[in-house]
A and B are shown apart, each in its own frame.
Chain A
Amino acid sequence: MLEMHNISKIYRADLIETHALRDFSLTVNSGEFVAVTGPSGSGKTTFLNVAGLLEGFDTGRYMLDGSDVSKLSDDARSRLRNEKIGFIFQGFNLIPDLNIYDNVDVPLRYRRMKASERHERISSALDLVGLGSRAKHMPSQLSGGQQQRAAIARALAGDPKFLLADEPTGNLDSLMARQVLDLLEQINEMGTTIIMVTHDIELARRAQRNVHVVDGQISDFKSYESLASQPYGAAPAVTVR
């Protein structure tokens, strides 16, 4: 379970404070598939970075799978991130000078696993996403959809409880996007909790639950139709000190 209570996150640059998250509270239960939508600059990605322990927060309380992460050291946060969270990005973020096998190997290396166990997990993750035969390919030798599937394999290899996806289909055509989403649904059915940030209302429809973020806060969600009619591009709350 992921629980955020009254989380605030402020970016400061000189005299300007940008409130990326304000009193942000959200609970995601184990096994859920949640879509997070909202206009650009509304705080969706900041939420994902905080949820993924890539960034800290200023106030509030965050419990991840029963652990209070507020006061953990960098080492402990990294370990928690490595063991419990998998990431999928819009730009795939595969490491260009490592082949697919070695890309999937990265999170397992930081878990200090034995070579035999790593090999087993990598093979199984690549088979799951249908890239078992492409293990020795370099990322540049794969299509966009294949690269995203490789990124999903990398995220799944460590057997995380949570999969955080930031616009996972943003760089893919509709056919590939559908395939990736099918794969995510399949993973969710296997028990992994998925939180997906997206602009795409069609994708959001396929999630079990939708959370709409505006100005760093969760807004009341009414209907997909009302989402569709809401203009994108609303500016985040800004304070000048």
Chain B
Amino acid sequence: MIGYYFRLAIASFRRTPGLTALMVAAIAVGIGVCVMAMTIYHSMSSNPIWWKNDQLYSVTLDNWSPNEPADKKRPSLPPPQLTFRDAEAILRSDIPKHTVIMYKSAGIVSGEGPRGPIAPINTRTRVTTGDFFPMFDVPFLYGGGWDRRADMGPEPVMVVSAELNRKLFGGIDSVGRTVRWNDREFRIVGVMDDWNPMPKFYDVNNDPFEETEHVFVPWSWGKTLNLLSYGNTNCWKPDDFSSFETFLNSECVWVQGWVELPDPATRERMQSFLDTYVANERRAGRFERPNNNRLTDVAQWLKDQEVVESDNRVLVGLSFAFLTVCLINTVGLLLAKFLNAASISGVRRALGASRRDLFVQHMVEVGVVAAVGALAGLGLGALGLKGFRQLYEYTQTGVLNRAGGLQALAHIDGTSVSIAIALAVVATFAAGIYPAWRIGRIHPGTYLKNQ
């Protein structure tokens, strides 16, 4: 019978093409807006390295002022970044499987490409320990990262992004080639594959939806070249900032710290290490606030740092309210359409259709409308997301010309399709139940006599 009802639905659409198009449009617009809002929300709130959630931990210590918390809105949290010396202390621990201390910087890249000299490019750079790559499962096209010896040297090696490699060398295997970075020769040891975790969980303090850096250099180059952070640097104490050396010994926080702890026992040992370290520092006059040494997994970290702003939740709520309005309109249109054809339903009742038969028949019709509406909504959502990307796209002379993380952020994926299908199913029932039920309640006699 479902096949028969499907044929009847098609015949019904042919009878009222305008009304049908209106209903599809109402559902499509509602679902499109919802898909768009949900996709953005999902991208922003998802954990991009969920498979290591129980192994990766952000390290934070509360070295802030005894008089006030680092963040008055969230007073229970320690500062989201570390001081340079605390970061180096963590690096010295051999408890973690991997330890990453790092910060965001920048540098001018130039050199000789296959087609001659390369114009200088101002490139976002991450100064980091080499554990960054195995710890965050960074994919490589060619080569790989560097070891702890290169960090300490520091050795003049670097990893570049696939995009920078395309710009410099046309995408060939450039491992072993040299480029100039901040007026020094660096040897490329690895070319990353495209990798844009969204949100950029490893450094949410400096725009969690910014794209991944294009150059990575070993940790100690920061100190060697007096490289300042291009990200947030927060201080509370009137320290001596007369030289880079004194800045490194200040209470300013600007370094991100992460450790990989493969099991709960290792995590406990690391927590104990942090507590002992802070206790020792406290005896030396630092850490005047209550103990608040944290190892935070990625999911909790994204929540703590409020990566998804409340505006986005409001947007999702509004989009659902809009879908509800669209569905109410659809209910009205469906009622008008079904009641307009009530005489046909009356005939069917006379010929043996039960109320249930009519209900199922009309629900199939609503289902087809909802399915087409969902598909169209998916298309509208994709168009909307494209517009969203273009709205935020920027071009800055000298900076790699990309829309940043928003490129990866706003695209229709399997989740979006699932959301659209789920919404369509809900929309089908929400919009169709009443009109389909109502048509079964008509008095056929009235229509049979008057037709």
Q: Which residues of A contact B (CB under 8 A)?
A: 45-46, 49, 52, 54-55, 74-75, 78-79, 81-83, 87, 89-91, 93, 95-98, 106-107, 109-112, 154, 158, 166
With A95-B344, A98-B11: A110-B449 Cβ-Cβ less than 8 Å: no
Q: Are A78 and B448 neighbours in the complex by a CB distance under 8 Å?
A: no
Taking CB atoms and an 8 Å cut-off, the chain B residues in 334-379 that contact chain A are 343-344, 346-357
Nearest-neighbour CB distance to chain A for B344, whole angstroms, equals 5
3 tightest Cβ-Cβ pairs between the two chains A and B: A82-B352, A78-B354, A110-B352
Q: Which residues of A contact B15 (CB under 8 A)?
A: 96-97
In whole angstroms, how far apart are the Cα atoms of A74 and B347 in the complex? 16
Could you list some 30 contacts between A and B, CB below 8 A?
A: A45-B445, A49-B444, A49-B445, A52-B350, A54-B350, A54-B443, A54-B444, A54-B445, A55-B445, A74-B354, A74-B356, A78-B352, A78-B354, A79-B354, A81-B351, A83-B352, A87-B350, A87-B448, A91-B450, A93-B346, A93-B347, A93-B448, A95-B344, A96-B15, A97-B12, A106-B348, A109-B4, A110-B348, A111-B352, A166-B448
Interface residue B391 (Cβ < 8 Å from any Cβ of A): no
Q: Which residues of A contact B451 (CB under 8 A)?
A: 89, 91, 93
The chain B residue with its CB closest to the CB of A157 is: B351
Chain B, interface SS category = helix
Interface residue B14 (Cβ < 8 Å from any Cβ of A): yes
Interface centre among B349, B356, B450 (most CB of A within 10 A): B349
Interface residue B284 (Cβ < 8 Å from any Cβ of A): no
Chain B 108-152 interface 0/1 with A at a Cβ cutoff of 8 Å (1 = within):
000000000000000000000000000000000000000000000
In whole angstroms, how far apart are the Cα atoms of A96 and B344 in the complex? 9
In whole angstroms, how far apart are the Cα atoms of A49 and B349 in the complex? 11
Q: Which residues of A contact B448 (CB under 8 A)?
A: 54, 87, 89, 91, 93, 166
In whole angstroms, how far apart are the Cα atoms of A75 and B354 in the complex? 5
Nearest-neighbour CB distance to chain A for B444, whole angstroms, equals 5
Q: Are B352 and A107 neighbours in the complex by a CB distance under 8 Å?
A: yes
Q: Are B347 and A112 neighbours in the complex by a CB distance under 8 Å?
A: no
Interface residue B1 (Cβ < 8 Å from any Cβ of A): yes
In whole angstroms, how far apart are the Cα atoms of A46 and B356 in the complex? 24
With A97-B11, A98-B11, A166-B449: A78-B1 Cβ-Cβ less than 8 Å: no
In whole angstroms, how far apart are the Cα atoms of A200 and B450 in the complex? 19
Interface centre among B11, B15, B350, B354 (most CB of A within 10 A): B350
Chain B 43-61 interface 0/1 with A at a Cβ cutoff of 8 Å (1 = within):
0000000000000000000
In whole angstroms, how far apart are the Cα atoms of A93 and B450 in the complex? 10
In whole angstroms, how far apart are the Cα atoms of A75 and B11 in the complex? 26
In whole angstroms, how far apart are the Cα atoms of A213 and B354 in the complex? 30
Q: Which residues of A contact B14 (CB under 8 A)?
A: 97
In whole angstroms, how far apart are the Cα atoms of A98 and B10 in the complex? 11
Q: Which residues of B contact A79 (CB under 8 A)?
A: 352, 354
With A95-B344, A109-B4: A87-B351 Cβ-Cβ less than 8 Å: yes
